[in-house]
A and B are shown apart, each in its own frame.
Chain A
């Protein structure tokens, strides 16, 4: 009887060892395997160009094109137009931004009620920020109220924004976040994405997706092996496996 229990216990121990022991891959082995993987230079160049173009770094894209011979997948001239719009929003010149978008493609704001509403909302915020209260009131009444009538889903957001007018000290009121610069950046990003989509270009660069894939793949591998990991994406150094 006791022999039986000894065998059972031993089997359980073996199972535990097998479950917790992962395959260990040394740095040498790992680097050797990595070296065997072939990546084409053209693919990397395309990734870089895609990043520069999508984010709107026109001059960098131009230079990169000259130095590497990589062709952008979008007309660089349109990038500068798009960047002018983005910059106008980031500086708070919303009216200017709207005119520029309409020059680029009048359909964008005509077919994107949510974006248009956000831009109008930002105009109101800028007027309030500059202390032009009367103008803000008039603008809210003439331009924003009809948007709320045309589309009920905007009413709630509209009410929030208009209630800014009720506060004497706007920088300290509960809705102060609307006045933050980050609000401008949010809208700028929204406009940028809309312009890219209208040009049949993807609004997100490919690079982040690759990095996400890397992190996911490493997480999956962590369950099966100990290996040199990339923990810092910005310098991509291999860190020795912890055993």
Chain B
């Protein structure tokens, strides 16, 4: 088939023309490259691979030299404009392009060209730089250097929108620390941004809103200085922009206000502004473009962890609106993810929200999202499930332990993305806390075996979350289920997990043992399997526990073991008194003296079980404890500030007096 596009040169041909000696050929090739890559990500990639970026950067550099030598002005400007535009397009929304432009050394040349007398050159260069600064790969701008600050001020003061826009985007990208924020404030930058808010064009207002939000983030001091009396009432100009006719401006204004709210307890706390923000963001969901995609994320940042706002949002029918949007289907993945995360935040604390969610049948739609092709959506669906399954009422009714949810969820255990795996495990951890007899469904669909597999994962977060799910699964489960888990896990795996390098994994492993041996006396035999592997591991881990939580779970595990028979209690005693090096002190005393009240409680409980009056070996054990100074330590805790500790201490002392204390 003959090619009909005879006048279209192949990319490699174009590239070679870029190095042509004839300026006419060169500039035409340059323009052609630019026109082919604009809007076309695929072409950007293919030209990139052919080495187009260094070639174009070279043309830019050569043209700068021509400028300084005052050669043919028009031609030179044309080269400058086209090469800058091409570089800008390579960098536009395309990280590989940004990296290539930086690697080709074009950045300093672009900066120099900002001072060029020709307007079109300056526009093209400013745009290219702004594209670079929209990427995470942009070079860090050091605001703390005086001349850098002056340069930034000159950019913001420029009458050209492209240049002042560049200044704003540098701030938005590079301003990170409180120190930098303060430096920007001290240099009067905020005043300048505020004037752009009130008197600037649409793009200047938007850019200004983004920069202000960056400078305000987590900095209550700068916020109160800005909102203070000297600059009039600048917060009101931002509030007005939240009602602007352009959706993007409304969104950016809301985001700025949310940043202010979250950083500073003094501003924007009245119910009027809270309600307004909720309504505006919910209404922005109707925007079909990028604004509507980002609106749910802004909504999340507004309500996350804040019950009062969640309540207001519930009254504003937020859940209905989100439901309505998901139902429509064929959502952009970013929007889908945002809405799911917003629903997760809504249901994270309030049962009223969860009830509303479940009554609207949103659960089925979320279950569908578990199989979406986009990883972010899948993870968000799991996070949403985790929030909703906090509903104890529905957990107890066995509402979630059904195949529509469990089967796709278990499939996600094998997801290629770690974050999806961890999110799925998080949701599972809640669902398996099922007080009905339906836990077997989870075993039937292979969930339990999968969890054990994941406990061997290379990723520590996956290991610890898998153990967490198993821990919840065996919580008050029947013996048969527990035996099933234990035989799948094996004593050697469990003991090695107790001794895992990661503290979070150790903690969950010990908690799992605690739940496994809780209840029936036969289950306690688990810790003695294979020559007491698990018991030994617990003992060794308690001696070098790196944080209180490990001690707590370990002691409760021992406490449960000690609730068995004499043999069990003697084994625990032996563990408590194993010396490590030349320490005379058992870790028991250390735990009893801990600042953590839960650790003290768990330890005293264990002593309670060891000295239970009905057991024949109790007096002997009590003597040993007395000799080790443990009893006197406990006596000192009679007035412990924690009630739980105080009560258990009294029990121990009561029990010791039954054997005749002196």
Which A residues have a C-beta under 8 Å from some C-beta of B? 98-99, 102, 105-107, 109-114, 116, 132, 134-135, 138-139, 143, 146-147, 149-150, 153, 197, 200
Contacts and interface: CB of A to CB of B under 8 A. Distances in A.
B35 A98 contact: yes
11 contacts: A102-B85, A106-B38, A106-B88, A106-B127, A110-B89, A116-B40, A146-B40, A147-B40, A150-B41, A200-B161, A200-B203
Contacts of B39: 109-110, 112-113, 116
Contacts, number: 61
A153 B203 CA distance: 27
B5 A200 contact: no
A138 B4 contact: yes
Given A134-B4, A138-B5, A111 B92 contact: yes
B34 interface: yes
A110 B4 contact: no
Contacts of A132: 4
A207 to B, nearest CB: 17
Interchain residue pairs A-B with the least CB separation, the first 10: A200-B201, A116-B39, A135-B4, A146-B42, A109-B39, A110-B92, A200-B202, A106-B85, A134-B4, A109-B38
B662 interface: no
Interface of B: 1-5, 31, 34-35, 38-42, 85, 88-89, 92-93, 124, 127, 131, 161, 201-204, 289, 330, 332
A6 B41 CA distance: 84
A212 to B, nearest CB: 14
A153 B332 CA distance: 8
Contacts of A200: 161, 201-204
Nearest to B2: A134
A102 B40 contact: no
Contacts of A149: 42
Contacts of B42: 146, 149-150
Given A107-B92, A110-B92, A197-B202, 19 more contacts: A98-B38, A105-B127, A107-B127, A107-B131, A110-B38, A110-B39, A110-B89, A110-B93, A111-B93, A116-B38, A116-B39, A116-B40, A134-B1, A135-B4, A139-B5, A150-B41, A153-B332, A200-B161, A200-B201
Contacts of B332: 153
A200 B41 CA distance: 26
A160 to B, nearest CB: 15
Given A110-B92, A113-B39, A102 B34 contact: yes
Nearest to A132: B4
A84 to B, nearest CB: 16
A15 to B, nearest CB: 39
Contacts of A150: 41-42
Contact of A138 (B3, B124, B161, B201): B3
A42 B395 CA distance: 70
A237 B253 CA distance: 44
A135 B41 contact: no
